[in-house]
C-alpha cells in the first residue's frame, strides 16, 4: 500500500519547532564536496569540507511548517571544490541534525555558484526549510 500521510499545519509546525529545539543554539552548517551520504545517519567518509558556518542564536523561526533562517550566516572556505551537499549539526559539530543537496537551481540549498575557492567568504543570506506533508 502506498503512503498517503498528510500533516496539518499544526503538526508541521510542531515538527519544525522540534527541529529548532533539537538543533539548539549555534548549530553548524558544513558545506561539502563529494557525494551526499544516503541518509543523515551515514558517516562522512571521503567527502571534503569546503566551508563551515555557525547558525548563530536560534536556528530560525517557523510558520506552518516553513522554517525560515532569518539571520545571514557566513564562513571562510578552507578548501576548493564543487559544493554538492550541506550537513547541519548541533554546536558540538558531531551530532547530525539534517543534510540536503546544494545546487544553483532545484536543490535543498540554492547558492549563486557551487564553485567554492579556498579562503572565499561563503554567505547564506536567507533560506527556508519546508516540511512537506509526507
pLDDT in tens, 19-29: 888 888 889 99
pLDDT in tens, 8-50: 888 888 888 888 888 888 899 999 999 999 999 999 999 999 9
What is the domain partition of the chain in residue ranges? 9-130
Buried b (16+ CB within 10 A) or exposed e, 55-92: beebbbebeebbbebeeebebebeeebebbbbbbbbee
Q: What is the pTM of this model?
A: 0.88
Give CA angle at 62 (107, 103), nearest 5°: 10
Amino acid at each position: 500500500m502506498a503512503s498517503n500521510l498528510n500533516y496539518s499545519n499544526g503538526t508541521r509546525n510542531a515538527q519544525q519547532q522540534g527541529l529548532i529545539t533539537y538543533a539548539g543554539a549555534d548549530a553548524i552548517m558544513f558545506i561539502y564536496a563529494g557525494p551526499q551520504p544516503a541518509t543523515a545517519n551515514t558517516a562522512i567518509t571521503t567527502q571534503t569540507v569546503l566551508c563551515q558556518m555557525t547558525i548563530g542564536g536560534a536556528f530560525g523561526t517557523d510558520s506552518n511548517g516553513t522554517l525560515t533562517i532569518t539571520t545571514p550566516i557566513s564562513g571562510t572556505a578552507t578548501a576548493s571544490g564543487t559544493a554538492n551537499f550541506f550537513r547541519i549539526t548541533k554546536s558540538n559539530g558531531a551530532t547530525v541534525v539534517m543534510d540536503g543537496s546544494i545546487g544553483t537551481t532545484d536543490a535543498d540549498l540554492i547558492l549563486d555558484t557551487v564553485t567554492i575557492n579556498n579562503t572565499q567568504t561563503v554567505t547564506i543570506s536567507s533560506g527556508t526549510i519546508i516540511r512537506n506533508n509526507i
